[in-house]
Chain A
Amino acid sequence: GAVVSQHPSRVICKSGTSVKIECRSLDFQATTMFWYRQFPKQSLMLMATSNEGSKATYEQGVEKDKFLINHASLTLSTLTVTSAHPEDSSFYICSARDGRGRGETQYFGPGTRLLVL
């Protein structure tokens, strides 16, 4: 299958600072990437759809000014958590849509664990 990388794998920051998470599709081009948030023992919650060269589409209840998404190339999307607070602590996972082959599928990165103190 395709490979999606995510960096950093974990980050600890102070309240009020901003944190940037990178998501890369390593062996395919992804015009569409997705950012998810996952709380312990729960399913993945879609935050936003990141489209290369255009603005991200945010799900209801997700603050676009708080979670800035940039999809500047076909292999890179970034999520910046601005002015982070302890309630932003979570597991953030990106995913990239792969349209090769006989049907579209989606591959996930390894996730980024964010802890805001």
Chain B
Amino acid sequence: GQQLNQSPQSMFIQEGEDVSMNCTSSSIFNTWLWYKQEPGEGPVLLIALYKAGELTSNGRLTAQFGITRKDSFLNISASIPSDVGIYFCAGRNSGNTPLVFGKGTRLSVIA
């Protein structure tokens, strides 16, 4: 099925550094969602975006809905060890269609 292009695939960063990851799509979305998944767990919703250009924060996390509606990014500031996990973007172009997921960004934080 359709997938989003999510990058980078993996990141190794030092504790305290900022992180940025993004997703792009060939089609327009009207909803972007960002999730974090830890080993053996289901994805946990971090941020939901519903409007082009929207910038939303959740603690040290900030995500933006691209103005073209074909991309979104997630930033994590001042990373800490518990930020380790896989981050997934997901998008939907209408209310009745299933979410399309990116392949995930695997984040490792070195203390």
Q: Tell me the A residues contacting B by CB distance below 8 Å.
A: 1, 4, 6, 34, 42-44, 46, 49, 59-60, 91, 93, 95, 102-111, 113
Q: Tell me the B residues contacting A by CB distance below 8 Å.
A: 1, 3, 31, 33, 35, 40-45, 48, 50, 88, 90, 92, 95, 98-99, 101-104
Closest residue of chain B to A104, judged by CB? B95
Q: Please name 6 pairs of A and B residues whose Cβ atoms are closer than 8 Å in the assembled complex, sorted by A.
A: A43-B101, A46-B1, A46-B99, A49-B98, A103-B50, A104-B31
B33 cross-chain contacts in A, Cβ below 8 A: 105-106
Other-chain contact of B104, A34, A43, A46, A103 (Cβ < 8 Å): A43
With contacts A93-B43, A102-B50, A113-B40 known, is A43 near B103, CB below 8 A? yes
Chain A, interface SS category: strand
**B41 CB, min distance to chain A CBs, angstroms:** 6
Chain B, interface SS category: loop
B31 cross-chain contacts in A, Cβ below 8 A: 103-105
Bound state CA distance, A43 and B44, in angstroms?
A: 14
B44 cross-chain contacts in A, Cβ below 8 A: 1, 108
Other-chain contact of A43, B42, B92, B95, B102 (Cβ < 8 Å): B102
